[in-house]
Chain A
Amino acid sequence: VELRFVMLSVGGAF
């Protein structure tokens, strides 16, 4: 099992 903590992403919507 691979955990990832607090993935912060930014981007755009259209």
Chain B
Amino acid sequence: AQTSAQLRAQQKHSITAGLGFVPLAGAGGILTYGFSVNQELEIQLAAQLLASAFPASWISGSVNLKARYYLGNAFYLSAGLGMEKGTIKDTFILPNNKVDVIKSETQYSAFGLDFGVGQQWRWGSFILDLEYVGVHSPLVFLNPRSVGVDKQTG
């Protein structure tokens, strides 16, 4: 049987779909195309959707271009650049007046950085990819727009 590293050198193209968890109460999905330059280096284009319910309602979609460097047979580090669009919705109940509720909605677009650590195994043409920790950090925000809605209830 061939090792994952040997298969990366032979199979130039890969497509993977994944599901993950976002702390504290979120989840995400990712669709990735990869191009293997050689055993060590892979260039990836990934579309990602992340959503979280806590501490605020938040959803974001991003497209990332990444370089993934394999240190051995399966272990990798990845770094990339991304373009992200997101919406954050939050509700504040004022402590001094329980009938006042402030709702805010922020829409943003941002360029960001993306880092990841994980392992990818290949058996024949099958791929199993486990990214242990991924970080996406928006850095440069473009036209962030905030809408505040002040609601009187009761």
Q: Which A residues lie within 8 Å of B13 (CB)?
A: 13-14
Query: How many A-B contacts at CB < 8 Å in the complex?
Result: 100
B128 at interface, CB cutoff 8 A = yes
Mark out the residues of chain A between 1 and 14 whose CB falls within 8 Å of any chain B CB in the assembled complex.
1-14
Whether B22 lies near A13 (C-beta < 8 A) is no
B127 CB to closest chain A CB (Å) equals 5
| Interface of B, helix, strand, loop or mixed by DSSP | strand
B151 CB to closest chain A CB (Å) equals 28
Give the number of residues in B that approach A within 8 Å (Cβ atoms). Answer: 36
Q: Measured between alpha carbons, how far is A12 from B3 in the docked complex, in Å? A: 15
With contacts A2-B135, A3-B133, A3-B135 taken as known, whether A10 is within 8 angstroms of B128 at the C-beta atoms is yes
A interface with B by C-beta (< 8 Å): 1-14
17 A-B pairs whose Cβ atoms sit less than 8 Å apart in the complex:
A2-B137, A4-B28, A5-B133, A6-B21, A6-B131, A7-B129, A7-B130, A7-B134, A9-B19, A9-B127, A9-B131, A10-B129, A11-B16, A11-B129, A12-B14, A13-B11, A14-B11
